[in-house]
Structure 1
Amino acid sequence: MITYMKINKLHLFILLPIILAGCSPENNAQQENNNSLTVKTEKIIHYNGSYNVGYSGVVVPKQSTSLSFGIMGIVSKIAVEEGQQVNKGQLLAQLNPSNMENTYQMAFQKLQQAQDAYDRLKPMKENGTLPEIKWVEVETGLSQAKSATAIAKRGLDDTKLYAVADGVIGKKSIMVGENILPGVKAFELLDISKIYVKIPVPEDEISAFKKGDQATITVGAITKTIAGTVREIGVSADILSYSYPVKIEVQNSDFTIKPGMVCTVSFATQNNAAGFLISNKALQQDLQGNQFVYVIENNTAQKREVKTIALIDKKILVSGNLKEGDEIIIAGQDKLRQSSLINIAQ
């Protein structure tokens, strides 16, 4: 028994320094460091001044016209391609004219016959030797022949489709050899000498817009920045996004801006705003749609709700419980929770 107690005391004497060493401040710090998440941070900047309001938009043609044949027939010729510039009156496509040509020739021959009868019997009408009822038949026959010939001529002309205005062929919907019905769209003719940039504006901001407002538009696809003017302000909101369409007119005489291109649109405001400038990388959003950032406090991440005010010089102007000089996390937020231990990357 005495030997057993001595052995236990010896073990306790050996283990005690190890236990105490494990509880030392250095080891505690190391353990905490191992449990922390590495993040990148930046300091926020206080801002008080004017700002621009920005929107995303898409280019749409100022006018789009659907062109179609007025008669049924087989497409025998297509004279233009998609994206081609055309002038008013230019031939776009043609149907096989054989049937209409035959119809016109038959109508024209009947017109000649009716005209010949009219010319031969007119002197008899004038000297009173032709019965009145016979003269009525002659006049009626000539009138009907003229109408039938005009209709046949119009049908023959309708085998050719022409541009109704200057523009660009936006879409071609027919092929050679295709049997096409009247009224079916063959081409889409776009007027893009002036284009519209269409933006969705939230319902709480639409009242600030008026016709004639000036905007700065940047088209990323062609690296071009141009000026535009508000021409149309929608009065009916989209039922899904609760936004109103606003159309901004832009000159496009060189046709470099194409329908479908995505743009950023900026409007200068007369109002000043106060807040904090942060990187867009810092801005987070929870499941309820609330925006927030993580602020560093005592080596922990603290969640602070914010509200976006505007975009300024590629930074986001926000309001919230922040102060100038606060360090906010801009990378490594994926696994963060409220009060998570953090380690700032150097």
Structure 2
Amino acid sequence: MQKFSKSFLILFLLVGILSCKEEKTTVVPQPISVKTTTVSNFSNAENGMKYSGTISAEKLVNLTFQVAGTVETLPVNMGDFVTQNSLIGTVDVTAYESQYQARAAQAKLAKENYERIREVYEKGSIAEIRMIEAKSNYEQATAAANAVYQNVKHARLTAPFSGYVGNKMLEVGDVASPGRPVIQLMNIDVVKAVIPIPSEEINHYRVGDSANVTIDALENEMFQGVVKEVAVASNRMNPVYNVQISIENPERTIKPGMACTIQLQVLNEETTKPSMITVPLETVSVNEDGTNYVYIYNTEKNIAQRKKVTLGKLFNNRIEIVNGVSNKDKIITSGYHKLTDGTPVILAQ
């Protein structure tokens, strides 16, 4: 009986040990979806500096009447195309016509008086001074009449060049005055983009440089542009310099106000040496001790590898990598915030 109890106890302990032994399981981490870009040497043609800007008309004027008066006609609307010398509007000319008629009558009387005195002078009956005074009065009256007539002419507003009505500031019945805009007229056969350039980059560019201009609203269609103006003075509140890009627009598909991306060629040889490698600025991270690093996609192991990098010069939205990565490395550009060194990754479709 005692022997049976010992056997039972041993069997009980053996079953307990086997039941308590947990089966080891391996947890396989799920790969993180990422996007990559291949590191390559800096190229002016493909990786030129990019800036954001807005399109505006290269030729734009606010048209105003040169005389005051109530607007009588304004036969144009916003968006209309008008040709050179076509009528834009008129103001009430009644008062100016009355003034001109009065001045013209005085000029006519002065002329008749001058002609009579001249005939008498030629006969030797009056002094020369009388004839000179009459002539002077006639010339002054004529000049005054002509000056008033200019007010009559200026009561009509015409287009100084062909273009589109960009804005309409007055309507029929409003009171116009010199200097008060009536319409905004713009010629968009040639448009421009003005972009701000940081002080450390402005010396890279010259008038005549080529530029690639991509218009977002036109399905990212690219147009060729030329640097027309480079500012030599910065904004006092912000150390940036304006550069103006001129773009031919014969089809008039580019409209003022459209957003655009301008890619400019860098001229400074120091900043475009063949060995230069640049990466998107947002792909560079920094840890607690101030070390900069990026994540590289290991194509053989399908993992993310953290690589310490030394940074160089900043170029708008890109930054130079002095060492740490090499040509043809695949920099992870999306999903890197979720990574650690050795994290399994998969390329996003």
The counterpart of 2:70, out of the listed 74, 77, 89, is 74
Q: Percent identity?
A: 22
Q: Please, which of 59, 62, 85 is the counterpart of residue 63 of structure 1? A: 59
Q: Which among 38, 41, 49 is matched to residue 48 of structure 1?
A: 41
Distance 2:193 2:227 in 1: 9
Q: CA deviation at 1:310?
A: 9.7
Give the direction of change, closer, same or farther, for the CA distance of 1:245–1:256 in structure 2 (3 Å limit). Answer: same
Q: After superposition, what is the alpha-carbon deviation per residue over 1:320-341, rounded to whole angstroms, capped at 9, x for unaligned? A: 634679776555556x48x599
Question: What is the TM-score when the length of structure 1 is the normalising length?
Answer: 0.73
Q: How many residues are treated as equivalent by the alignment?
A: 320
Q: CA deviation at 1:103?
A: 1.0
Q: Secondary structure at the match of 1:47?
A: coil
Could you tell me how far 1:68 is from its partner in structure 2?
1.4
Given the two structures, how large is their TM-score scaled by the length of structure 2? Answer: 0.73
For 1:47, give the aligned amino acid.
S
Quick one: distance in 2 between partners of 1:303 and 1:73? 74
Counterpart CA distance in 1 for 2:310 and 2:83 is: 55
Amino acid paired to 1:119: E
Stretches of structure 1 lacking an aligned partner (at least 5 in a row) = 1-9
Q: Structure 2 stretches of 5 or more lacking a match? A: 1-11
In 1, Cα distance between the equivalents of 2:126 and 2:75? 55
| Map of 1:91 onto structure 2 | 87
Give the residue type in structure 2 aligned to 1:41.
V
Tell me if 1:266 matches 2:251.
no
In the TM superposition, residue 43 of structure 1 has moved relative to its aligned partner by 5.6
1:321 aligns with 2:324: yes
Q: After TM superposition, give the deviation of residue 86 of structure 1 in Å.
A: 3.0
**Structure 1 counterpart of 2:258, which letter?**
M
Report 1:166-205 matches (<5 A): 166-205=162-201
CA–CA distance in 2 between the matches of 1:276 and 1:167?
46
1:243 equivalenced with 2:240 (yes/no): yes
Secondary structure of 1:55's partner?
strand
The alpha-carbon deviation at position 176 of structure 1 amounts to 0.9
In structure 1, C-alpha distance between the alignment counterparts of 2:149 and 2:162, rounded to whole Å = 26
d(CA) in 1 for partners of 2:116, 2:17: 139
Alignment correspondent of 1:283? 283
Larger CA deviation: 57-66 vs 292-301? 292-301
> Partner amino acid for 2:324?
N
In 2, distance between residues paired with 1:291 and 1:70?
64
How far does residue 95 in structure 1 lie from its aligned partner after superposition?
0.5
Looking at structure 2, the residues matched to 111 and 169 of structure 1 have their Cα atoms a distance apart, in angstroms, of 41
The equivalent of 1:165 in structure 2 is: 161
Match of 1:254? 251
Distance 2:17 2:144 in 1: 118
